[in-house]
Structure 1
């Protein structure tokens, strides 16, 4: 029987070609750790959430050791609004008082974390929900920030409440979970040496985790395609020195500066490469890891 023009056969051949093209990349990442920071803005679409869960399951099945760190800023903001708790932002960070940290932990380590875990499990993976508190995985200390008073032009220390940044990372629990062929899904809530609970910026948290695990890649799924040049074109690959030059000449500005600085920090902690990519692109994780095209900006030491 002539199947030359059989659409099912042609589709099957196309799929086989895709798998064949991806094989060298699968072998490259086999046995290596990839940390994926799943942003609050990137997780707002149900179809994209399913695609993300499927991607994480697929890369784990192919031999990669994925670790998911997630945010949840928009979801926290929505619940605080429903509860009538006013949010204040200072120096670009949410001021987190005692009432707010209770909501933050409830949303991050509770509803969002378990939603991601259930999504991965529904696609055939085996995910486990964790936070920085489990096994004292991440210990944080209170963040201090400075801002200039616009009236007096005097620099003042800003009290952000229970906002922390990582001081130590103990990878014991993560190694145990990965060793059992499970997928850790980690909420960026951490204990402090003072016994308090701290809300840690998810990007910073992911960078600390990736550095402690000597990750081959740290992927930041955001709401932007990556680092853009002066013409608005995506830069596919760039070094730390080149990033610093783009900051100096104003090409990289605004909210992108803290993103790339977090990337640079992760590289300094031992991560092989960091990628900023648009989490709203379907199957962005697979495109970045298993194709020669990639899906964002790769920053290298």
Structure 2
């Protein structure tokens, strides 16, 4: 299977701040985002792509609610499946255009992810979806629609939904077979469709959105990937963010990252899930986790390369041995 990297692309990068989310806007953003996949392929990596869907699934929920008097509303997990197909197509077309003659096969797979029906996240919605709203409008929507709302990243208020931890990828064996053939696979989009086991057998969807970074970690671990690449809009992780002491981190071990997390350096609403996913990946046997922007992602997987993002490694001795 060679060197496998699972790359997580943010839904907020597909529909950026200040944009309304037209198809043309999203297609242009996807074209820029897939450059990191092309760079990794050129460097010899087999790539699996995971994408977010927070803005898109929230916007689709608004469409559902506004049209409910004419067309029956669908559950949130169904909207997740819809956006997984929508954005998977968007990313696949962008890859086919960017890759040219060298591009191997590429396929998008609607992926179901097992969660625990008793996960405490169902009682504490924290995952923001949909557009940013002024506080007054968010409170009005909460009263009218029964939403839970909260402030997100200082940019406004958004709807909050449950975000349980991913336990298992149902389509894993099929995804592994595709990866072993060298196919570029787009999977677990939006964190995948959340399902729980039925007592009588089978699975059923649940009202939730799984964090795409945690889903990417679960997929990377189950595939035995060497690298987990979490693409965001910043070049490097910052310690003491928002203070005069703020400073970037080029490399840290999983233990150091955990210490910083325990100190409260990485808030749950921003960098927390990415750091948590990176630590979990490394402690499950992964070699390197990277948090950076698209421009630095490929360089960040080459030890000692200039212009890299933040690398998180199991131990520095292990990094040296790999280099």
Distance 1:174 1:247, change over 3 A: same
Selected match of 1:227 from 237, 260, 263: 237
Distance 2:274 2:36 in 1: 23
The gaps in structure 2 that reach 5 residues or longer are 17-26, 67-72, 125-147, 149-159, 315-323
Q: Secondary structure at the match of 2:166?
A: strand
Q: Is residue 2:55 matched to residue 1:43?
A: no
Shift of 1:53: 2.2
Distance 1:161 1:250 in 2: 23
Matches within 5 A, 1:156-171: 164-169=164-169, 171=172
Corresponding residue for residue 99 of structure 1: 75
Cα root mean square deviation, aligned? 2.9
Q: Is 1:42–1:221's contact at 8 Å kept on the other side of the alignment?
A: no
Q: Is 2:85–2:110's contact at 8 Å kept on the other side of the alignment?
A: no
Alpha-carbon deviations, 1:255-286, whole Å to 9, x = none? Answer: 3223212221122222112111134xxx3333
Distance 1:249 1:49, change over 3 A: same
Corresponding residue for residue 222 of structure 2: 212
Q: Is 2:288–2:301's contact at 8 Å kept on the other side of the alignment?
A: no
Corresponding residue for residue 181 of structure 1: 182
Corresponding residue for residue 196 of structure 2: 192
Matches within 5 A, 1:1-301: 31-44=2-15, 46-84=27-65, 99-107=75-83, 109-124=84-99, 125=103, 126-133=105-112, 138-142=113-117, 143-145=119-121, 164-169=164-169, 171-186=172-187, 187=189, 188-194=192-198, 195-198=203-206, 199-230=209-240, 231-254=245-268, 255-279=270-294, 283-289=295-301, 292-301=305-314
Distance 1:63 1:224 in 2: 25
Distance 2:215 2:95 in 1: 21
Distance 1:58 1:168, change over 3 A: same
TM-score by length of 2: 0.66
Q: Secondary structure at the match of 1:141?
A: coil
Q: Is 1:132–1:139's contact at 8 Å kept on the other side of the alignment?
A: no
Shift of 1:78: 1.8
Alpha-carbon deviations, 1:85-130, whole Å to 9, x = none? Answer: 7xxxxxxxxxxx96222222211x2211111111111123331001
Q: Is 1:212–1:269's contact at 8 Å kept on the other side of the alignment?
A: no
Distance 2:232 2:257 in 1: 18
Shift of 1:61: 4.3
